Amino acid sequence: KVLAFSLIFDALADDDHYRKRHRYRGGFEKNDDNDDNDRNDYLKPVANRTYKETCGECHFAYQPELLPSASWVKILNQLDDHFGEEIEADPDTIKTISDYLKTNGAENSSAKRSKKIMRSLRNQVPMRISDIPYIREKHHELGPEIYKRESIGSLANCTACHMTAEKGIYDDDDVKIPR
């Protein structure tokens, strides 16, 4: 049975239509209704060096597409109390970061995930990615004990479980929940 299944699968993998519909990468994948561009499901990796170095010094430099521009503006306007920390940066650095985040906010993205984030917000302006209804729903099966693990710490620590988060890929296939 295994050999027959393997032969059938190998034949399907050689079929262009099958590869496009099932995003073939050497194994079975879920069907993607968007034949045009598999990348459309991924967020863009952080491309702004100033943002990556300044914000990434203390935490994961989240892709701008994870929050709407209004949220980024709200966060940047409260750097004197940035989640319990005071952030000091020169005005040029703040402007560079602000321009990057606003230009690349969720409402400006073509990624499916960003569109789902925007729909779930219903005009809310969250200060945290972990407060986005879509993100909370995607993690609803994980109990609070998981986030208490020292290796994770909170829902905000994307890179603890999402092995490809820095690349903007948050697929379930790339998740490994640490002990």
Query: Model confidence over 36-66: pLDDT tens digits?
Result: 345 587 999 999 999 999 999 999 999 999 9
pTM beyond 0.85: no
Lowest mean pLDDT among 24-33, 68-77, 106-115: 24-33
pLDDT at 33 over 80: no
**Is the model's pLDDT at 16 over the cut of 70?**
no
User: 148 pLDDT exceeds 80?
Assistant: yes
DSSP 11-61: HHHT-HHHHHHHT-SSS-----S--S-GGGGSPPPP--HHHHHHHTTTS--
What is the residue-averaged pLDDT of the chain? 84
pLDDT at 167: 97
Dihedral of alpha carbons 59, 65, 67, 71, sign: positive
pLDDT confidence of residue 41: 79
> How many angstroms separate the CA atoms of 74 and 142, rounded?
29
